Amino acid sequence: MMNFYAEILTIGDEILFGQTLDTNSHFICDRLTEIGVRVLRKTTVGDTEADILSAIKDANDRADIIIITGGLGPTNDDLTKPCLAKYFDCPIEINEKALQEVSAYFERRGREFTELNRRQAELPTACEMLSNPVGTAPGMWFEKEGKVLASLPGVPHEMKYLIENEVLDRIKDRFELPIIYHKIIRTCGIGESYLADKIRDWEDALPGHFKLAYLPTLGEVKLRLTATGTSLKKLKLEGNLLMTELSQIAGKYIYGYDDESLESVVGELLVKKDLTIATAESCTGGHLAHSFTSVPGSSRYFRGSVIAYHNDIKKEQLDVPAEILEKHGAVSEETVTLMAENVRQKLGADIGVATSGIAGPEGGTKEKPVGLVWIAYSDKNGTEAKKILFLKDRMFNIQYGSKAVLTNLFRKLTKKD
């Protein structure tokens, strides 16, 4: 079995000026890796013919597959098509199928089809047109001397459409790729180094064709398990066995796999248990409610929330007595406990969760520094609060505060009775 290599070329002054963050090449790297193509290099050049041509030439010297994004607009500063025509030594002409599709696109939207738009249907004759029903710039597919080159629009959703619907399949048809097994294991409530310690023996015993990567993000650690082989069925069997072993070692930290998010997994657990939830938030200021409601279908279990930023709201809407606030302060076990309990009862939910803390950058004291967050969980059996100390960055404290509540909730909902 051979290995095949790809290079990605993104074109656009706006990327080199630091005006546009290139997320396209990240997406393409991920999808190529998934089908077993190794990305060797990615390059960004500006809207300059010489730079584009030299980058294409260099990439072609090294790789089997070149994917280009950007520079396909109809205006004169978009140079990808003239460069490809020069590189493949062919004229640019109206492609009849492209013309049909582009004009149909404008017709569907009731927009005028101008001369400038017509130029979108002009393509180097050496290419095969890739239909782009979600935009106005068709993609292009070239083959030459055993190598392939795809040129795609820079608009992310158009690029994604063409990768998913045209490019990956063509690459799989054209090259005999290795069989690849991928599994993302999502954990919460444990730091990267603790997780590494916990699963060290399992990791050390992984078969040689399996590789593990740690991908820590905001309060979570993702593990990416990858393997190559000759039979996907065999790899899946091996993978499942490894997953079972991993579950026995670190199961309580694993909340999901692949594309699942913690908030969607918690949501499914609530649906399964026929429970509803409400939140009372001070320091997270709505971010926690937003995490819940970002999940499609969350109206099945999410009742609502009281964001009690000012102490008056804690008193009036959440019935936290003034004496408690005076004696213990808003950021205290006593206050957060009452917030969780009372929001549960007032909003008629089965579970109430609450946050109160000092997000920063101002407002910290020696006893209650910036980054101190109290979280609470309340259900019909009682209420529990936890103290957590985060860092000194406001947005970090807000996001980690929400994640801590979700992690705690996951633990509660999966606890064996």
Residue placing its CB nearer to a copy of itself in the complex, 11 or 190: 11
Residue placing its CB nearer to a copy of itself in the complex, 311 or 414: 311
Strands 351-357 and 277-281, bridge-based pairing: parallel
Residue placing its CB nearer to a copy of itself in the complex, 72 or 349: 349
User: What is the Cα–Cα distance from 88 to 290, expressed in whole angstroms?
Assistant: 50
Write out 90-148 in H/E/C secondary structure: CCEEECHHHHHHHHHHHHHCCCCCCHHHHHHHEEECCCEEECCCCCCCCEEEEEECCEE
**Both tokens assigned to 394:** 């406001």
Q: Which amino acid is at 14?
A: E
Question: Least distance to a copy of itself from the beta carbon of 29, Å?
Answer: 4
Strands 65-69 and 147-152, bridge-based pairing: parallel
User: What is the Cα–Cα distance from 205 to 402, expressed in whole angstroms?
Assistant: 36
The answer to whether 168 touches 31, Cβ cutoff 8 Å, is yes
Question: Least distance to a copy of itself from the beta carbon of 31, Å?
Answer: 7
Residue placing its CB nearer to a copy of itself in the complex, 298 or 408: 298
Residue placing its CB nearer to a copy of itself in the complex, 235 or 349: 349
The answer to whether 278 touches 303, Cβ cutoff 8 Å, is yes
Residue placing its CB nearer to a copy of itself in the complex, 95 or 298: 298
Element (H, E) at 221: strand 220-229
Question: Least distance to a copy of itself from the beta carbon of 102, Å?
Answer: 19
Question: Least distance to a copy of itself from the beta carbon of 8, Å?
Answer: 9
Question: Least distance to a copy of itself from the beta carbon of 19, Å?
Answer: 6
Residue placing its CB nearer to a copy of itself in the complex, 224 or 252: 224
Question: Least distance to a copy of itself from the beta carbon of 123, Å?
Answer: 26
Q: Radius of gyration over alpha carbons of the chain, in Å?
A: 27
Question: Least distance to a copy of itself from the beta carbon of 97, Å?
Answer: 28
Residue placing its CB nearer to a copy of itself in the complex, 27 or 88: 27
Question: Least distance to a copy of itself from the beta carbon of 293, Å?
Answer: 3
Strands 128-130 and 139-144, bridge-based pairing: antiparallel
Residue placing its CB nearer to a copy of itself in the complex, 151 or 399: 399
Question: Least distance to a copy of itself from the beta carbon of 416, Å?
Answer: 30
Burial (CB count within 10 angstroms: exposed 0-12, middle 13-18, buried 19+), residue 60: middle
* Chain-centroid distance, C-alpha 197: 27
**Both tokens assigned to 255:** 């909340």
Question: Least distance to a copy of itself from the beta carbon of 129, Å?
Answer: 27
**Both tokens assigned to 415:** 């606890």
The answer to whether 62 touches 6, Cβ cutoff 8 Å, is no
Which residues lie below 8 Å from residue 20, measured CB to CB, with a gap of 6+?
A: 12, 14
- Contacts of 318-323 with C-beta under 8 Å, sequence gap 24+, read 318/280, 318/342, 318/343, 318/346, 319/346
| Residue 206, CA distances (Å) to 182, 184, 203, 239 in order | 14, 16, 5, 10
Residue placing its CB nearer to a copy of itself in the complex, 103 or 276: 276
